[in-house]
Each structure stands twice: as structure tokens, then as C-alpha cells.
Amino acid sequence: MARGTIRATGSTAGAARQPRSAGVATRRRILDAAEALFGERTYDTVSLRDIAGRAKITLHLASYHFGTKEQLFGAVVARRAAVLSGLREERLAQLTAHGTPTPEAILNAFMHPLFEKMMSGSRGWRSYLLILTQLGQGNRWLEILHTNFDPTAELFLKRLAAALPDVPHTTLMRGFALALVAMLQTLSRNRRLDALSGGKLSADDLGEAYRVLLKFSVGGLESLRPVRR
């Protein structure tokens, strides 16, 4: 249903006249509810009606604020992507202000903000991570990924290329992409590690997991340098 049509219905006319603060609060409730449900389940198994029910609002009000379920999903992704990208770019700017940073410093500036959010105990960020894993499955959400994450990723790739000038750019991109897969897998807290270690290691120990991930990722990128004979 078009936004103009929704705005004209009697059940949502009041929504258009909501005070700005009330409208902002309602949008936040819808985003929070959608984020939780998309994380718990999947995009295809969640309806706009489900989200409205979780947010304790009418279906018409949810449609008024976000239009379709797909538009709402995009808004959910964009909300925390903006926070994450801002943290990453701020740290990269601090590094580059003092010359060419090392590959380890660059990767740390990219990866650590998401680990910080996950270790904060925020339920919202835990749900968001589950959504990120869904985005990485297949090619369905490439446009959302491109819009929300690629501009920042390209900045980091540019800095990595300066720090590793002898690594072919196409090879560096593949290596960076593999590091991102490892990052999301680590943050998913998959219990395979617990089973494999006989309980000696825990996937919940994100601090130790991050230390190994960073070292592993840096070593992988640096190993992509051509072998000199």
C-alpha cells in the first residue's frame, strides 16, 4: 500500500498529527520490535503484523511510519550500521592522523567496535548480529549491504592497501572479506568450539576470542604478500 494511501485512512490520520517527540518514540518502538523479531526468527517468517503486535501499536501505524516490511527491515539495518560505521571511521581517522597505520591497527579499528557493542550486554546488539548473519547468506541483501557497509569498508581497504602495498588489490579484497566472515563467526558464539575443546574453551569468552581473531586475521593478510625469490 502506498504511503499516501496509508496517510489518508482514518486510523492513521492521528499518527500524522503526533507530536514530534511521540513520533520519534513510536518509530523507536517499531524498530526495536522489528530488530528483536528479525533476530529471533528470519525476515521471511516475520510479518508486519507480528512487529506491530510486539511494539503494541496498530498495523496501520507501523505501515504509516515505515511503509512495507522490506522498508522497515532496511531501516533496522541502517540504524545500527550508522553507529558502527561512525565508530569505525572515527578510529581510522585517529590512526591516519599520525601517518600510515599498521595492518593490525587498521583491522582493530574496524573489528573492535562491534565486539565492544556485543560485550556490552545489549540485547539490541545481540539481535542485530543475528540479522547481520542473515544478510551474509546468499545474494538477496547485497544492496542493503552495499548501501550501509561498503563505503566504510572501502575506506579501510584503501588504508590496508597503503599498509600492504605489495599485496595485489584483488587479493587483499578477498583476504579482507575472509576476515569479516571469521569476525561474524566468532561473534555468533557457535558452541562448536566448546565441544571441540571438551569444555576447556568457551565461545562466550569474546575477549580472548578477539585476541586470537585479530592475530589470525593480520597474519592472514600479511601472508598474502608475494614470495620473493
pTM for the whole structure? 0.86
Tally the C-alpha atoms within 13 A of residue 218's C-alpha that lie toward its C-beta. 18
Report pLDDT digits (tens) over 185-212: 999 988 889 999 999 999 999 999 999 9
Report pLDDT digits (tens) over 206-220: 999 999 999 999 999
Identify the structural domains of the chain with CATH numbers, from first to last: 3-67 (1.10.10.60), 77-222 (1.10.357.10)
- CB-CB contact of 48 with 62 (8 Å): yes
In whole angstroms, give the CA distance from residue 5 to residue 130: 33
CA nearest 10: which of 71, 79, 82, 58? Answer: 58
b/e burial code for range 142-177 (CB count within 10 A of at least 16 → b) = eebbeebbeebbebbbebbeebbeebeeeebbebbe
